[in-house]
Each structure stands twice: as C-alpha cells, then as structure tokens.
C-alpha cells in the first residue's frame, strides 16, 4: 500500500478532501498536524508521498505560506535537523512531494520549486493577483507536453477550481524564466476550454509569469499547483455537471482532478514492481 502523509494545522483547511483524493486513488493517507513533526519528531520517512494542502496557514498575514515555509526551513526538530533537511533526504530516497495552493506557495518559498539547480534556494515568489481581489471560480489548465513529472502523465487539459488572492507566480529575472521554460518546469499553464493557451485575464486568474498554473522540479519528484484538483474528485463537483452528463450519459463519474492522485500512486506502485524484479 502506498502511504501518504498529509500535513495540517495553523490554518490549513483542505486536508480532508486531500486525504480523500489519495484514498480514492488507492493509497493510505494519514492526516498529521505539523507540530507532530516539528515538535514531537514524527517521521516523514515512513511515507512514500508528502503532501502540503491548501488553506490559509497563519492567515496569510505576512504573505501566503511564508511563515510556514520559515518554520520548515529553520525550526530544529528533536533530531537536531530541520524539516527541510528531512525533506531533502526524503527526495534523495526517491520519494515524492506535492503542494496545492497554500502548499504550493510553501514549496516555492522553500526553494523546492522550481529548484532548477537542485540547491533548494528560492528562485520565485507569489504576489497578489493582478485583479487585486480574491478569485474563487473555475479555470482550464493545459499540461506542458515536454514535462516528464509522473503527476501529470496522460493528462492534456484539466478544468479545476481556483480560490486564492495571492497566486501570481513571479521569477527573479529573465534568465530564471528562460531556465524554467527550457527545462519544462512550467508544467501546467492556464488556457481556454479547447486547450488554447492564453495569458489574459480572466483565463489567467492571477497574472502569473509564463502563464504558469503549476511547477515541477527537474527530477519530477516535486510538483505544485495553484488550482485545486482535490476539489474535483467527482463529476458532480463540476458546476456544469448536469449539462456534461446530458451530452454524454456514459461519462465517468470521476472528477478530472482525481487523475493527478491516481497517477502518482500508480507510479509509486510501478516503481516498487521494477525494484522487486
């Protein structure tokens, strides 16, 4: 059984649907408070996937995900190491990390994404949406065909809900933007329903550079996105499910967002089979 650790606490509020997504994908998911890890020394290494859910850690008071990222980077665990050091070992062991919305903001501020040089230094940040307001609606996302992250295997276009006020991804300079493009780390972009990429509002809900909705690292082991796939686990989550069902009565009742979770769970299982041969 694939084991997933879903972290919660300090204002994170999407842990239940996130755990449900992994369970629907065939994994065993445990929801653990951050303090169990940061204070009590609960080990992340008994798991295959580490997940940072969406929500509003520390109320986004300083900036989204920043306080939580600093606790992960600097707070000493009972072992004397930081959680960031433990995550580096977790990745060295061939395991996987995913972050959604607030979790994505944490990963970016930790330097886990895009991490183009694999040195875990911050190379991007998140700013307030260009609309100057909190956006809570559905968007379409197009998967970069050059991306090799297993999270997105076989996916082309995804309709997903977004709900954030600070989702504009910005890079330090043109060189960094070019590196992200060249290495296909901009693994998902905002688009029209037919997959046509478009960077204008409202299709791009926040003004992200490179029209970027998601990032992965060069290894493909770390993946994060601003939209919420855990909020589209059933066809009936979609606001237009009635019309979709009438047009195609035999359509699967699974939500499109579930495929991301099924992908990574199946990938871990496939890896185990290869290692066992």
- pLDDT, block means (10 residues), the chain with 277 residues: 98 98 98 98 98 95 92 96 98 98 98 97 97 98 97 98 98 96 98 96 98 98 98 98 96 97 98 87
Catalytic (active site) residue 101: yes
**CA gap 122, 203 in Å, rounded:** 27
Task: Please tell me the predicted confidence (pLDDT) of residue 169.
Answer: 98
Residue 106: closest CA among 120, 94, 92: 120
Residue 130 belongs to domain with CATH number: 3.40.50.880
pLDDT of 277 reads: 76
The residue from 51, 228, 238, 267 that is catalytic is 228
Are 190 and 197 in contact by the 8 Å Cβ rule? The answer is yes
Q: Which of 191, 180, 189, 187 is nearest to 221 (CA)?
A: 187
Q: Which phi and psi (to 5°) does residue 90 adopt?
A: -55, -45
The H-or-E segment that residue 171 falls in is strand 168-171
Spot the catalytic one: 17, 51, 230, 267.
230
Known catalytic residue at 85: no
Query: What does the alpha-carbon distance between residue 74 and residue 34 come to, in Å, rounded to a whole number?
Result: 14
Q: Is 267 annotated as catalytic?
A: no
Domain assignment of residue 56, given as a range: 3-276
The C-alpha atoms of residue 85 and residue 256 are separated, in whole angstroms, by: 34
Structure tokens at 272: 């185990």
Question: Which pLDDT score is estimated for 62?
Answer: 83
Q: How far is CA 252 from CA 157, 206, 230, 233, 236, in A?
A: 16, 31, 17, 11, 11
CB-neighbour burial class of residue 93 (10 A; exposed 0-12, middle 13-18, buried 19+): exposed
Q: How many CB atoms lie within 10 A of CB 76?
A: 11
Separation of alpha carbons 113 and 208, rounded Å: 15
Q: Evaluate whether 41 touches 79 at the Cβ level (below 8 Å).
A: yes
Q: pTM for the full model?
A: 0.97
Tell me which of 101, 141, 212, 216 is the catalytic residue.
Answer: 101
Number of domains composing the chain: 1
The token duo for 95 is 């395991």
Residue 232 three-state SS:
coil
Q: Are strands 188-191 and 135-143 parallel, antiparallel or unpaired?
A: antiparallel
């Amino acid at each position: 059984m694939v084991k997933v650790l879903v972290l919660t606490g300090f204002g994170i509020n999407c842990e239940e649907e996130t755990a449900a997504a992994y369970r629907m994908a065939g994994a065993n998911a445990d929801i653990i408070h951050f303090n169990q890890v940061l204070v009590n020394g609960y080990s992340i290494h008994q798991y295959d996937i580490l997940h940072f859910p969406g929500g509003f850690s520390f109320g986004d008071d300083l900036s989204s995900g920043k306080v939580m990222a600093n606790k992960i980077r600097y707070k000493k665990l009972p072992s004397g190491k930081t959680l960031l050091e433990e995550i580096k070992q977790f990745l060295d062991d061939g395991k996987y990390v995913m972050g959604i919305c607030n979790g994505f903001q944490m990963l970016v501020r930790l330097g886990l994404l895009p991490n183009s040089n694999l040195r875990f230094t911050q190379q991007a940040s998140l700013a307030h949406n260009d609309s100057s307001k909190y956006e809570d609606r559905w968007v379409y996302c197009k998967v970069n065909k050059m991306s090799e992250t297993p999270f997105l295997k076989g996916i082309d276009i995804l309709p997903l809900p977004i709900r954030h006020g600070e989702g504009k991804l910005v890079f330090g300079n043109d060189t960094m933007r070019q590196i992200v493009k060249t290495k296909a780390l901009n693994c998902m972009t905002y688009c029209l329903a037919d997959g046509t990429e478009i960077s204008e509002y409202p299709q791009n809900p926040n003004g992200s550079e490179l029209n970027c909705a998601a990032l992965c690292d060069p290894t493909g082991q770390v993946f994060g996105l601003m939209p919420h796939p855990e909020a589209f686990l059933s066809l009936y989550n979609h606001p237009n499910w009635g019309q979709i069902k009438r047009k195609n009565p035999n359509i699967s009742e699974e939500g499109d967002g579930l495929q991301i979770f099924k992908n990574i769970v199946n990938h871990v299982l496939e890896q185990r089979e290869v290692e066992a041969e």
